[in-house]
Amino acid sequence: MTGKEPKKTERLVIGLSEPITLIGLKGKKKVIAKVDTGADKSSIDLNLAAELQLGPVVKISLIKSASGNRKRPIIGSDVIFAGREMKVHFSIADRSHMKYKVLIGKNILKKGFLIDPSRD
């Protein structure tokens, strides 16, 4: 053993809902996002994405959800989440009837986050 340990990724503890700052061509907007460990991909409301001019569309994917399987556009966007600035992908969905306009899925959570439900 050389005495050098592999560098461990520091994991940040977050709650079941967290603020996220979305960065688009039309500026920045901070909203409260819902953390969903059962969602593979993160999702953003169609109107919110249009308001900030988030994008570009990087692909179209088949997304499975409680409301059925649908093809949705996937966009790339810069965000600030839990103090970390990162480039992430969101599926675009009509979330206008939902309390949270942004859903954080495993594609973001795998970047070094642990969820503590007692934090909400």
Give the model confidence (pLDDT) of 40-78 as tens digits: 999 999 999 999 999 899 999 988 877 788 899 999 999
Fold of 12-119: Cathepsin D, subunit A; domain 1 (2.40.70)
Residue 92 has pLDDT above 70, yes or no: yes
**Cβ atoms of 32 and 90 closer than 8 Å:** no
pLDDT at 67: 73
Q: What are the residue boundaries of the structural domains of the chain, listed by start?
A: 12-119
Residue 4 has pLDDT above 60, yes or no: no
Q: Which residues contact 52 (CB under 8 A, 6 or more apart)?
A: 22, 23, 24, 25, 26, 27, 28, 29
Burial of 80 (0-12, 13-18, 19+ CB in 10 A): middle
Residue 5 has pLDDT above 50, yes or no: no
Per the structure block, which two tokens stand in for 39?
A: 């969602």
pTM to 2 decimals?
A: 0.86
Task: Choose between 12 and 4: higher pLDDT.
Answer: 12
Share the mean pLDDT of the chain.
90
